[in-house]
Amino acid sequence: MKNKILCLSPHTDDCELGLGGTMAKFIEEGDELFYVAFSSAEKSVPEGLPKDTLVREVRKALEVFGIDEDHFQLLKYETRVFPEYRQQILDDMIEMNRVIQPNIVFLPSTFDNHQDHQVICDEGFRAFKKTSIFGYELPWNNCTFRTDLFVRLEERHLEKKIKALSGYQSQSKKLYMSPEFTRSLAITRGAPINVPFAESFEIIRFNL
């Protein structure tokens, strides 16, 4: 049976960074994948660029994975103030659960210290009560991380992740957007399970 997977990205690019290789692998294997970004993070657009830059860049990234427009949703919450909209965000997630009925949800880990990411994690746990939930890793936001689950990646999955991230030209100066960082983390996470590349996740809830 194929999975119905919902990837929750607080801001455009978070899911690509946290599980881009896994997204590529699951789609390749025929799973149905949905991507929801809660903010286009206009505050993160460098000065001089159009405010909708990240809207265009996320669509370009998702084309790399082959995610159709009807499996992509971009909400309009203001970045860095998600705690002010906690109930609205929960209501949105409850509706997503009703419409999509995913059996797997990926969201930021419980160790993520970004305020927006914490809200998506906390409210996701409440909204998807009957669903397996896995927390993805964003090392620059985590003082620590629990590697409960490993997803083996092939070179082609990693290359697709790197290609998708290369579409975020407005964010290219950030260290963690570089191909070298992406490849290094995949090698590090592959080492404990004796494979060349992997992504790791925190198990927040696992429903059989």
pLDDT at 55: 95
Give the span between the Cα atoms of 7 and 93, in whole angstroms: 11
**Segments forming the whole domain that contains residue 89:** 4-205
The pLDDT value recorded for residue 43 is 86
pLDDT below 50 — which residues of the chain?
A: none
- The letter for the amino acid at 8 is L
Instruction: Return the CATH number at 18.
Output: 3.40.50.10320
Distances (CA, A) of 101 to 25, 131, 206: 21, 9, 16
What's the pLDDT score for residue 163? 98
Which tokens in the block code for residue 124? Answer: 């996701």
Residues 62/52, Cβ–Cβ less than 8 Å: no
Structure tokens at 48: 């001089």
Instruction: Please state the domain count of the chain.
Output: 1
pLDDT of residue 130: 93
Give the model confidence (pLDDT) of 51-74 as tens digits: 999 999 999 999 999 998 999 999
CB atoms within 10 A of CB 40: 24
pTM beyond 0.95, yes or no: yes
The 3 state secondary structure assigned to 1-28 is CCCEEEEEECCCCHHHHHHHHHHHHHHH
